[in-house]
């Protein structure tokens, strides 16, 4: 399937190969009207141009909606990170995209790339501006600080307020207890919001009176699963989506809500912490039922806002303040602009308007 160009991009599709290591990679710079293209490098064995383009376009809208001066881009390296020389592949890829970094592209972590790989990219290209998500020891703001989960927490509060729900009386279920889900629960429970269910790959732990965050985290670290939590009922991972809660936060895998379980969702608010936890058609089923869906690129933008803060050299404290301000403002804007309960359409329209405005001001298109 060929990449389809339109008025927004892509501006550049760069395929690279390194004969010595066998590294093949691709960088798609979709749109730089608002600033250099920002997006992660994913390292998987089956990555292709079309997938990377789709992700780059998603970053164009995500960065515009986050209201940060970045355009959209994405990169992919083809290989099994468990069997190839990962550092050699990363360095070979960085050398070949160097002419475009950081003027047109800024790297970040993605599937199978972490703060270590971002440090390698910065080292190979020769500037800390080449990547974000670097270790704090070299001036980075790694995603392990929990910026994405904090943003999901902020977006959840806005959604509850929009529906005039009393946050001291709402119940929340969270799918996934990785970096995003863990920090989302941390901030919710610090606000004394009742998180009653959390799931991981082994199943769901549920207690209608609420789960203790510190105990759950300790259980996950020591036992490897939330289902070993001593004070809760163990359910299947799929049962989490059927629980009678006020807020459901899918925060791990894609397409966990689908045609077979969408009618079982009882939550009033669904905050998409994960990327594409359901297709748009599935969202519309929930929207038609009057449920409030806060789309992924609205709710989970804390990570990319943190990347902008790192790029500007802000402190951790400054970063969290900016994440809160932008997530709250943009979530509220989307909800206020929503027509017929279609929050995704409203969010996409806002993002497109911001990109078009930048393109017009640069003289890239006429008004």
As annotated, the active-site residues are 74
Instruction: Measure CA of the first residue to CA of the last residue in the chain; give whole Å.
Output: 32
Contacts of 12 (CB under 8 A, 6+ apart): 27, 28, 29, 100, 104
Task: Count CA within 13 A, CB hemisphere, residue 280.
Answer: 8
Omega cis (within 30) before 258: no
Distances (CA, A) of 252 to 7, 55, 186: 33, 17, 16
3-state secondary structure the chain: CCCCCECCECCEEEEEEECCCCEEEEEEEEECCCCCEECCEEEECCCCHHHHHHHHHHHHHHHHHHCCCCEEEEEEEECCCCCCCHHHHHHHHHHHHHHHCCCCEEECECCCCCHHHHHHHHHHHCCHHHECCCCHHHCCCCHHHCHHHHHHHHHHHHHHHHCCCCCCCCEEEEECCCHHHHHHHHHHHHCCCEEEEEEECCEEEECCCCCCHHHHHHHHHHHCCHHHCCCCEEECCHHHHHCCCCEEEECCCCCCCCCCCHHHCCCCEEECCCCCCCCHHHHHHHHHCCCEEECHHHHCCHHHHHHHHHHHCCCHHHHHHHHHHHHHHHHHHHHHHCCCCCHHHHHHHHHHHHHHHHHHHCCCCCC
């Amino acid at each position: 399937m060929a990449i389809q160009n339109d008025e927004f991009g892509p501006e550049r599709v760069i395929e690279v190969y390194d004969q010595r290591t066998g590294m093949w990679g691709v960088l798609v710079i979709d749109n730089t009207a608002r600033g250099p293209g920002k997006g992660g490098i994913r390292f998987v064995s089956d990555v292709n141009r079309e997938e990377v383009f789709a992700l780059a376009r998603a970053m164009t809208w995500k960065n515009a909606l986050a209201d940060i001066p970045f355009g959209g881009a994405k990169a992919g390296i083809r290989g099994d990170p468990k069997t190839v020389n990962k550092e050699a592949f990363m360095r070979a890829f960085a050398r070949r995209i160097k002419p475009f970094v950081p003027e047109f592209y800024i790297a970040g972590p993605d599937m199978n790339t972490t703060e270590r790989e971002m440090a390698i990219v910065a080292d190979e290209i020769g500037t800390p501006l080449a990547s974000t998500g670097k270790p704090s020891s070299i001036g980075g703001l790694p995603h392990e600080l929990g910026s994405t989960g904090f943003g999901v927490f902020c977006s959840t509060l806005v959604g509850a307020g929009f529906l005039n729900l009393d946050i001291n009386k709402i119940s929340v279920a969270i799918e996934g207890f990785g970096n995003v889900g863990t920090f989302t629960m941390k901030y919710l429970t610090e606000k004394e919001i009742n998180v009653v269910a959390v799931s991981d790959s082994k199943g769901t732990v549920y207690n209608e009176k609420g789960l203790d965050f510190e105990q759950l985290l300790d259980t996950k670290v020591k036992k490897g699963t939330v289902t070993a939590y001593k004070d809760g009922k163990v359910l299947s991972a799929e049962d989490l989506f059927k629980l009678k809660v006020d807020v459901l936060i899918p925060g791990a895998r894609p397409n966990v809500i689908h045609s077979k379980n969408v009618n079982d969702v009882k939550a009033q608010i669904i905050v998409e912490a994960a990327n594409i936890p359901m297709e748009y058609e599935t969202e519309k089923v929930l929207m038609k039922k009057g449920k409030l869906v806060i789309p992924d690129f609205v709710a989970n933008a804390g990570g990319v806002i943190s990347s902008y803060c790192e790029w500007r050299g802000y402190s951790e404290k400054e970063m969290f303040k900016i994440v809160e301000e932008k997530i709250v403002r943009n979530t509220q804007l989307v909800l206020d602009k929503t027509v017929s309960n279609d929050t995704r359409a409203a969010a996409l329209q806002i993002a497109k308007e911001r990109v078009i405005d930048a393109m017009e001001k640069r003289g890239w298109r006429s008004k």
